[in-house]
Amino acid sequence: MEEPSHDDLGFAVEIACDESGSEGEKLVGGNTNMFTHASVRMDVRAAERCLEAVRERAPSPTTMYKSSILRRAKHRWVVAWLLGPSGPLFGHAHVHLIDKPRFFTVRLADLLTGDPTRARRLAAALGLEGPRVYGAETWTAFLASLNDVLRARNGRVEITADAAFELAESLRPAAPPGGPVAELMDLLLRARPRVEAFGERPPGAMPVLDPLIAAIVGTVAHWGRGGARVRVVHDRQTILTDDRIAELTSLTGPLPGGGRLDGFRLAPSDSDVRIQVADLLAGAARQIAESDLRGRADPELKALLRPYTSFWGFSGRTS
């Protein structure tokens, strides 16, 4: 990856970002299992050349060229070129991948234990043991019920807390004693007031279950390595209010390694061609990762994506 450059004020990096697979705080049982957040570091002219080259290889009459065009099977070779070492993105881009159900399981375990290290260890064990004990369908339904209780309500209730905890109580007897599933169930049933209070946090509070927040923090950490100040231009997102951007700034500086967020602005994708390039990368990365999760990996594309990626709560099959 390209190293940050110096300016008169020290290290400074400006990146443009977009995402794919966002469903807000709905992490389990949604339309997608993977969330991808792409960032590109290139000037506007380089981004224009990149899009022009993509259009030449995968023509489309649309004014706004979107990642859905590249995700067509006939354009697979264009994705391979785009990601490859001779392509325009190599050394100038990064992708943050998040397995959403795994991400939720870690967040849930962290809420119940208050110990991030224990939470990650418990979540990793649950990813294997939960489906083995109850079957994948029942385990997913259980996690989805808890996800609905914990995400910001905004007047929308799909599953009540009563229903979610009744399900937990009905499943608890089947959990092998001393195992991670029993540990989770016991923690959960003892912590009902805390779980319900989390789901009732006030309107406007930071949506901590939304993977976009974790992805932005991770993206700034990546580009801020070595002490760089990171300036972000991001596609418009309704959750990124001025107050939340200010809170993000406090969360992202200084980070381990000395980097920090030094500017954050939203822009419509049609106003900044760099965001459009980030959209192409985010969409292609999500398709590659989703295929891998479904057991239909594309070995070549998977290998080409690897140099661009970092993972948070991902299964590890592409690492």
- Domain identity same for 94 and 227: yes
CATH number at residue 83: 3.30.420.10
C-alpha R_g of the chain: 21
pLDDT at res. 155: 53
pLDDT at res. 11: 77
Instruction: Please give the structure tokens belonging to residue 223.
Output: 């580009």
Alpha-carbon distance of 285 to 35, in angstroms, equals 9
Domain hosting 22: range is: 5-98+206-312
Boundary (domain end) residue, out of 174, 199, 224: 199
pLDDT at res. 257: 76
| Cα angle value 302/231/92 (rounded, 5°) | 30
pLDDT at res. 311: 63
pTM of the model: 0.91
- Domain identity same for 174 and 40: no
Q: Which of 244, 256, 242 is nearest to 213 (CA)?
A: 244
- Domain identity same for 239 and 190: no
- Count the alpha carbons within 13 Å of 12 in the hemisphere toward its beta carbon: 9
DSSP readout, 124-190? HHHHHHHHHHH-HHHHHHHHHHHHHHHS--TT--SS-HHHHHHHHHHHGGGSPTTSHHHHHHHHHHH
Boundary (domain end) residue, out of 147, 179, 199: 199
- Domain identity same for 176 and 130: yes
Q: Which of 99, 106, 97 is nearest to 30 (CA)?
A: 99
Alpha-carbon distance of 287 to 130, in angstroms, equals 26
Round to the nearest angstrom and report the end-to-end CA distance of the chain. Answer: 17
| Residue 317, domain member (yes or no) | no
- Domain identity same for 285 and 299: yes
- Domain identity same for 174 and 308: no
Per-residue pLDDT of the chain (319 residues; tens, 9 = 90+): 444 444 434 478 999 999 999 999 999 999 999 999 999 999 999 999 999 999 999 999 988 899 999 999 999 999 999 999 999 999 999 999 999 999 999 999 999 999 999 999 999 999 999 999 999 999 999 999 999 999 976 556 678 899 999 999 999 999 999 999 999 999 999 999 999 999 888 888 899 999 999 999 999 999 998 899 999 999 999 999 999 999 988 888 788 777 899 999 999 999 999 999 999 999 999 999 999 999 999 999 999 999 999 764 333 333 3
Domain count, the chain: 2
Instruction: Please give the structure tokens belonging to residue 235.
Output: 């596609």
